[in-house]
Every structure is written in structure tokens, then in C-alpha cells.
Amino acid sequence: MEWILGIVGGALGGVGAGAGVKKNTLGTLLNGVIGAVGGAGGSALMQTLINGMTGVDFSAIAGNLVGGGVAGGILSTIVGLIASAMKKKK
């Protein structure tokens, strides 16, 4: 379940980052997909940091959503910057 929360948080973070940095956006769908990939990684990192907690822990759920959202936003922004730089070289 934590991965799903991370993926959702990452997708939202990617879309949010694309909306915030319109100059380097790749479009809503692609930002969401890239954000979801980053969210899965961020969620895995948060699971490692919060390892050992059992049961339904709302702090772990929030941690996965926030970690996924931040990681998704960061990855989406980085990919957007790289794509923008590659377009300028042509």
C-alpha cells in the first residue's frame, strides 16, 4: 500500500512541479508519469527510513505521500530542465 501512496503523491508532485515551472514543463501527463516514477523511489526511501513501524500508522502514510510528492516533483523538474536544455542545443 505504501508504494501506491508514493506513486500517487509523486504523480501529484510531478504535475504540481510542472505547473509551477511552466518554462520547463513536459506536459501534464508526462510530468505525472515522471513524478509517479520519482514517487515510487521516494516512497521506497521513506519505507526504509520508517522501517519497523507496524499496523496502520498515519505518520507512515503521510510520510509516504509527502516523500513521494517531493521526489516526484524533483524528478519531474530535473527531467524538464534537461529536456529544455536539449531543445536549446538544436
Domain layout of the chain by residue ranges = 39-46+59-82
Return the pLDDT at 50. 66
Answer whether 11's CB lies under 8 Å from 39's CB. yes
Taking each helix axis from N to C end, the angle separating 58-89 and 2-20, rounded to the nearest 10 degrees, works out to 40
Spans of the chain, pLDDT less than 70: 1-2, 49-58, 60, 90
pLDDT of residue 53: 57
The confidence score (pLDDT) of residue 70 equals 84
- CA atoms of 9 and 83, how far apart (whole Å): 23
pTM given for the model: 0.70
pLDDT score at 51? 66
Identify the pLDDT of residue 41.
82
Residue linked to cell 503521510: 62
